[in-house]
Structure 1
Amino acid sequence: MSEQQQPPRRVTLKDVAKLAGVSHQTVSRAINDKGEIDPETRRRVLDAARELNYRPSRFARGLVSPGATTLGLIVSDVENPFFPELIAGVIEAAEERGWQVLISSTQNRDAREPELIRTLAAQADVVIGYLSAPDATLTAAAEGLPLVVLGRAVDEPAFGAVEVDTDVGVRAAIAHLVSRGHRAIGMIDCADDGTPDRRPAFHAAMAGHGLPVADDAISGGTLTVEGGETAFVRLRAARPDITAVFTFNDLMALGVYRAARRLGVRIPEDCAVIGFDGLPLGELIDPPLTSVYLDKRRMGAIAVTEAARLLSGEPAGRALLPVRLIVRGSA
């Protein structure tokens, strides 16, 4: 068949998106008459579809139920006790809106984030994720897919975000330790690339009390019990004078407990410990863990609200999740 005899190329959803000046997910929502979309945006999309004589394929129409909004959720590890509460908050808030939720895990392999975003782009209208990749990487993978990033700040104006008020939490933790007479305070930090950085907040909080922070007062490890254990052993060897530690998260704090028992270090008599996240398991150990608490369910609910903003065509929002210090027996 000659070039002149070739049948015309089928108009695609992306063709309509380009003409209407929106993402292809927005076109899908408008054509399938889903909620959470601005009426003017829907009108512009439908006008573009009529102009191009666009007809959705049977496959595309069968991906989801008519009228249903699908939210994709990406977490790094479903076995990490931080995430079940977050997932529950997302599901509960999504169900209140009549949305369906697809859950994916990177299995602690950050390099999988772009792949999962691209996979969900074919199935979901919007994605919420605990993501560590740079904004540019996420933007390239999303290709216009509405995206809400959890737990850290973002610079990409198209992304929604739910940040944690880390500075307030760290200041409260250090102020509590200082009030108990501690001056030599160390930090068990996260060594993973792309993880929200709490070290500046620690430095600032210490400086606020006139306390210097030497390089050997901070020991890094993976975001696991084992990572906290290894980091504390290293910190204790370098700085046996340290009488209190602030840990990046509660899992690492559990590692500190395990290392302390092995080293014969008493908590809190020899070394006080404060975690971050406020996991329920902190109440079950002896002594119970003092921790900066953040409401994971509320974070999930706020993220769904930010996702709804994006789907309705509103500008991306930046929500801040408050935190508070829960004082127990470890500090």
Structure 2
Amino acid sequence: MKAYVVEKVEDKRFISGVKELEIPKIEDSEILIKTQYSSLNYKDALSSVGNPGVTRVFPHTTGIDISGIVEESKDEKFKKGDRVTVTGYDLGMNTNGGHAQFVKVPSSWVIKTPTNLSSKEIMTYGTAGLTAALSVNELLNNGIKNGKILVSGATGGVGSIAVAILSKLGFEVTAISGKEEKIPFLQELGAKEVILRKDFDVENSKPLGSEKYDGMIDTVGGNILVQALKVLKYDGVATCCGLTSSFELHTNVFPFILRGVRLIGIDSVECSINKKEKAWEKLASEFKIDSLNSLTTEITLEEISDAYKKLLSGEAVGRYLVRVE
């Protein structure tokens, strides 16, 4: 079978590309999936250059997402021919991932693909779409039913899908992006306003600002999240799922104790199968967006290397869908 493999050639030096490997053998409570589609995420790109915070086991096949067909099962809950999806857990980190024609996984990681989502559609969403859905759910579950929502990193995978979902649900979306040339793209997704990152990511020592937004979906962390917390309205809710700007958060307690602002962390990797299934059902129904194709660049295994370069340099826009079959 073909797989996209990262190899360590010496300390801090890695090479990657498509190789021929043996089809893996499964054991008890494992499933062998014939891959149809996978996707690319920032975490995949980090794995491809040997980031030790993501991957320590080499050689290694990248790909934290997979959708396909059960080829062989040693769990009675799944049978040959079932359409299935896996996102998160250790897939594509220290367990060989979805950028291969066949992938073996523990059955506890697997969900059956919702009937009204194709294998291609669910991987167009992928981990990014799942994370966006979990984030939107937290806003809704915490009383944010309408109003103005701020989305950071809006041209990225999570951000772009979040903008589209929120717009569909009737929210007034303000997008933050560092890509001025992509303002029309964000407006097409449904953003009512676009703020350039350089105009928002500024040092401001004031502990609070004027109340502007009912909620926020943050995908970047750092000072952008700090400044956003200061301008959330009373009882506002911010979700946080990323760190492409910074993993640090130098803030103060005033938004929390004077305005009752809540900051909620989003993790799509280790959250329960039940929670994932409910989020996928939302993406297959009320969260389902009509602009999936405009968000997506479809590539093959052989084109992954070039896409990783764009992800790592910050040039990527929207989602990369990997066609494996």
Instruction: Quickly name the TM-score band, shorter chain normalised.
Output: 0.3 to 0.5
Higher helix share: 1
Report the TM-score when normalising by structure 1: 0.34
> Of the two, which has the highest radius of gyration?
1
